[in-house]
Amino acid sequence: MSRSRAASLSTKLIRIGASLLVVALMSIGLTLWVTWQLEGGAASVNEAGRMRMQAWRLASALQADVPRPQVLALVAQFDQSLELLRTGDPSRPLFVPWDAGVRERFTGVNRLWQAQRSQWAGEPPPTAKASLQAAEEFVAAIDALVLAIEHQLARLTAILNLFQFVMMALAIGGAVLMLYTGYLYVINPLLQLQQGLHKVEEGDFGTRIEVDNQDEFGQVAQGFNRMSTQLQAMYDGLEAQVIAKTERIEAQRARIEALYEVSAFLAGANSIEEMSRGFAQRVRLVMSADAVTVRWSDEANQRYLMLASDCFPQDMLEEERSLLAGACACGSLQPDARTRVIPIHDHTAAPMRRCVKAGYESLVSVPVRLQQRLMGEIDLFFRHAVELSKDEVELLDALASHLASALEGLRAAALEREAAVGEERALLARELHDSIAQSLAFLKIQVQLLRSATHKAQPEQVQLALDELDTGLKESINDVRELLVHFRTRTNTEDIASALLETLQKFKHQSGLATQLHISGDGLPLPSDVQVQVLHVVQEALSNVRKHAQANQVTLNVTKGECWRFAVQDDGVGFLAAQQRDSSHVGLTIMQERAARIGATVEVQSHPGSGTTVSLDLPAHPVIGNVSAPAPLA
């Protein structure tokens, strides 16, 4: 459609508006001109009346025999008034509405004044009677001029009234024209569009609007007709589209549900056998496959072992428990392989002939990767031709990724448990070495001394050796008891105070020393695993007190806060702390390693004869970490 046609409605409205504007401006201009004439004519009437007053003043001055200069001044004022009427004054405004009658009367006044002026200003001045007669004659001429001006002003007033009536008629006509034009070109097309939209809302997509012209509303009507046609076509096939969309949504929901179910199962499985077998069953149900196998690859990807299967023929299961890479379509993945559909009848290898014999027609191979490393594959067998959609491929890839992550999680958990067991064994070995092993070495020495004293028949030495053996055995028994308590330590509450109190009571029972527990401050509860490490450090510090301090009383001070502090203080013999910084000192290495697990520090303060204080300072947010190096000993 051309631009001129597209702009026709705008052109019509502009033309009508411009025409009305021109007529209105012309009417207003004429009205202003007439008003200007009336205003100037009224001022000229006032000025003419002033001339009558000046004539009478001049006659009165002559009768009163006023000085000659004043008479001449009055004559000059009269001259100025005549000149003002002749030329006008736009600033006031003042001008005479000239026509033939007004001009004739003004000429008569001017002629009469020129004739009488010489008498008024001459010598000798006219007599009183003559001046009065001249004034009456002049006033009569001025009255005739004023009457002519007023007659002209009456004509102008009539013209002004006519223009006002014409403007009213134009306003009414313009309003009617605008209403009619608006209805014809705007309102009526809009009503038709509104009626058409209402019918479309009611479902009548066969509604069409008649196109009367090619203006903007004509284009809109054509667009409405095209829209109705498209809506009718869409509505005719809407039911099929809704069904298809519903099927897609249902399939997507089923895929999400399947993914969630498989993920939940993998998260709760405790062994590789349980995980792979349950995974195979669920994948077969999700994909509606006839059989599923899960194969795992060795490090070199040269052999694939079957982890689990579901609905796979027993004879094929026995033959395919271990497959060489490339011997069959199963187990022939490349490092960059993707999920693919393999037609079984296109392969002639012996394993594939077994699949054909079992009735399978299609094989779906899904690689299992973990961080770009090929770990195995999932094989789905179908007894019919299969074509996977993009969504199904993404679902299989996601399931395979979850399986790889879950199996790796099991392996990592096993390694973590193994590392934890090894760490506890190493800790147990160090504690045995630092306590019981030294006691046993001491007992061995005492046995040798006892044997030597027996051979030499030295009863006193025999009794001394027996006493030392008795003391050593008691120490060993106490060490064993401490180890049992140490490795049975658990916390069942958020408050560590009860566990500390129980530890002090056991220590008091074993050693016979007086104990005190002081707790101050406020702070958040410690995590249970952090509490266990704190209890181990406290127990080790108490064990050192029992073995070396020769104390009578032990005090445990606990300061709560953002950073917790535990201090074990005794009143024993003490020692020079600077000489005991070697980590081989009994118990110090163990306390350092325990503290390092939670990011804490151990501080030892001691002086000979003043007792010893072992302090454990925790960080603001202690957590269990994998720390191999011991914490620093302050």
Looking at residue 6, what is its pLDDT? Answer: 46
Looking at residue 338, what is its pLDDT? Answer: 82
Last residue of a domain, one of 156, 172, 190: 190
* Interior/surface letters 507-534, b for 16+ CB within 10 angstroms, e for the rest: beebbebebeeeeeeeeeebbeebbbbb
Q: What is the CATH number of the domain that holds 330?
A: 3.30.450.40
* Eight-class DSSP state of 585: S
The whole-angstrom separation of Cα 47 and Cα 93 is 12
**One domain for residues 30 and 174:** yes
For residue 613, give the H/E element and its range. Answer: strand 612-617
**One domain for residues 30 and 152:** yes
**Assigned domain for 554 exists:** yes
**Assigned domain for 214 exists:** no
Three-state secondary structure of 87-147: HCECCCCECCCCCHHHHHHHHHHHHHHHHHHHHHHCCCCCCHHHHHHHHHHHHHHHHHHHH
**Assigned domain for 399 exists:** no
**CB-CB contact of 245 with 369 (8 Å):** no
Q: Which residues pair with 322 in a beta bridge?
A: 305
**One domain for residues 479 and 436:** yes
For the chain, what is the total number of helices (H) and then of strands (E)?
Answer: 17, 11
Q: Which residues of the chain have pLDDT under 70?
A: 1-9, 58-66, 68, 71-72, 89, 95, 115, 118-131, 299-300, 326-327, 329, 331-336, 346-353, 427, 430-435, 437-439, 441-442, 479, 482-494, 577-586, 621, 623-634
The whole-angstrom separation of Cα 482 and Cα 587 is 13
**One domain for residues 38 and 123:** yes
The whole-angstrom separation of Cα 375 and Cα 297 is 5
Return the amino acid letter for 471. T
Last residue of a domain, one of 456, 488, 520: 488
Pairing verdict, β 373-382 and 291-297: antiparallel
Looking at residue 583, what is its pLDDT? Answer: 39
**Assigned domain for 39 exists:** yes
The structure tokens 């058409």 sit at 196
**One domain for residues 454 and 508:** no
**One domain for residues 593 and 511:** yes
**Assigned domain for 251 exists:** no
> How confident is the model over 14-32, as pLDDT tens digits?
777 787 788 778 878 877 7
**One domain for residues 149 and 177:** yes
**Assigned domain for 50 exists:** yes
Chain centroid to Cα 319, Å, comes to 57
Domain count, the chain: 4
The whole-angstrom separation of Cα 156 and Cα 150 is 10
Chain centroid to Cα 270, Å, comes to 40
Q: pTM, whole model, 2 decimals?
A: 0.42
Residues 6+ apart with CB under 8 A from 274: none
Pairing verdict, β 303-310 and 291-297: antiparallel
Last residue of a domain, one of 190, 208, 224: 190
**Assigned domain for 331 exists:** yes
Looking at residue 565, what is its pLDDT? Answer: 93
**One domain for residues 285 and 369:** yes
**One domain for residues 463 and 514:** no
For residue 49, give the H/E element and its range. Answer: helix 8-63
382 φ/ψ angles, rounded to the nearest 5 degrees: -130, 145
Looking at residue 488, what is its pLDDT? Answer: 57
Pairing verdict, β 553-559 and 362-370: unpaired
**One domain for residues 622 and 507:** yes
For residue 179, give the H/E element and its range. Answer: helix 128-182
89 φ/ψ angles, rounded to the nearest 5 degrees: -145, 95
**CB-CB contact of 472 with 443 (8 Å):** yes
Provide the residue range defining the domain that includes 506.
495-634
166 conformational bin, left if phi > 0, alpha if psi -120 to 50, beta if neither = alpha
Long-range contacts of 232-236 (CB under 8 A, 24+ apart): 232/205, 232/206, 235/205
Looking at residue 312, what is its pLDDT? Answer: 86
**Assigned domain for 226 exists:** no
**One domain for residues 442 and 530:** no
DSSP string, 479-541: HHHHHHHHHT----SS-SHHHHHHHHHHHHHHH--EEEEEEES--PPPPHHHHHHHHHHHHHH
**One domain for residues 39 and 143:** yes
The whole-angstrom separation of Cα 196 and Cα 633 is 90
Q: What is the CATH number of the domain that holds 517?
A: 3.30.565.10
323 φ/ψ angles, rounded to the nearest 5 degrees: -120, 135
